[in-house]
Amino acid sequence: MIELAPGLILHPARFSRAHQEALLADIREVVRAAPLFTPTMPRTGKPFSVRMTNCGSLGWVSDRDGGYRYQATHPLTGEPWPAMPPTLIDAWRELAGFDPPPEACLVNFYDAGARMGLHVDADEKEPRAPVLSFSLGAACLFRYGGPKRNDPTRSVKLSSGDVVVIGGESRFCYHGVDRLYPATSTLIANDARINLTLRRVTPA
């Protein structure tokens, strides 16, 4: 494991290929029940380049009128989110260092041109719980900085099977994804990447 910054821990190749395939199969089930949607920015309504869905009791959504928020239902189907697969809950137990279970798993689907601007994960009400991030498919350039938008940033390449723990002093650090690396996915077709983030949303 590599401490990128205090509390920001990279576990390279934490998941074996077999484990990645099992996770991907679980996520395909989730997407069948809760189709990917395109979130939009608060106020401007500008679409994200990443498509999303969720599993767990709560899911993160964003749109022009409602802004960033967690809610119990899919924004398009109105259905409750599918249950979180046990593989993910097991991973939280192993890696989070925080007993109460995660409530949300945000599934980010990046196609080859997608990116994610610098932001802080700040919509959760349990600051003691980390965010756990799992990478599947194409490699990406992940950027991270400090608690202020204009703090200096560094970047690291994340590959399929890597896990990042965003916790401790880095729980509210700015982070984002600059770009994907072409032709680096042997797991997902069309050079796509899936990122899963597990979150505790309500106070434990």
Count residues contacting ligand SIN (CB under 6 A)? 8
**Residue selected from 175, 185, 187, 201 as contacting ligand SIN according to rule CB under 6 A:** 175
Residue nearest to ligand SIN (CB): 195
**H helices present in the chain, as ranges:** 17-33, 86-95
Contact 81, 54 (CB under 8 A): yes
Kindly state the tokens that stand for 170. Answer: 């880095």
Nearer to Fe ion, 11 or 22 (CB): 11
| Residue 195 sits in the site that holds ligand SIN (CB under 6 A) | yes
Residue 53, judged by CB atoms within 10 A of its CB (0-12, 13-18, 19+), counts as buried
For residues 113-142, which are near ligand SIN according to CB under 6 A? Answer: 116, 133, 142
What's the rounded Cα separation, in Å, for the pair 195 and 53?
Answer: 11
Nearer to Fe ion, 14 or 143 (CB): 143
**Residue selected from 121, 124, 162, 191 as contacting Fe ion according to rule CB under 5 A:** 121
Between β-strands 163-166 and 8-11, what pairing exists: parallel, antiparallel or unpaired? antiparallel
Nearer to ligand SIN, 27 or 99 (CB): 27
| Residue 54 sits in the site that holds ligand SIN (CB under 6 A) | no
Contact 106, 71 (CB under 8 A): no
| Interface residues toward ligand SIN, by CB under 6 A | 108, 116, 133, 142, 175, 177, 195, 197
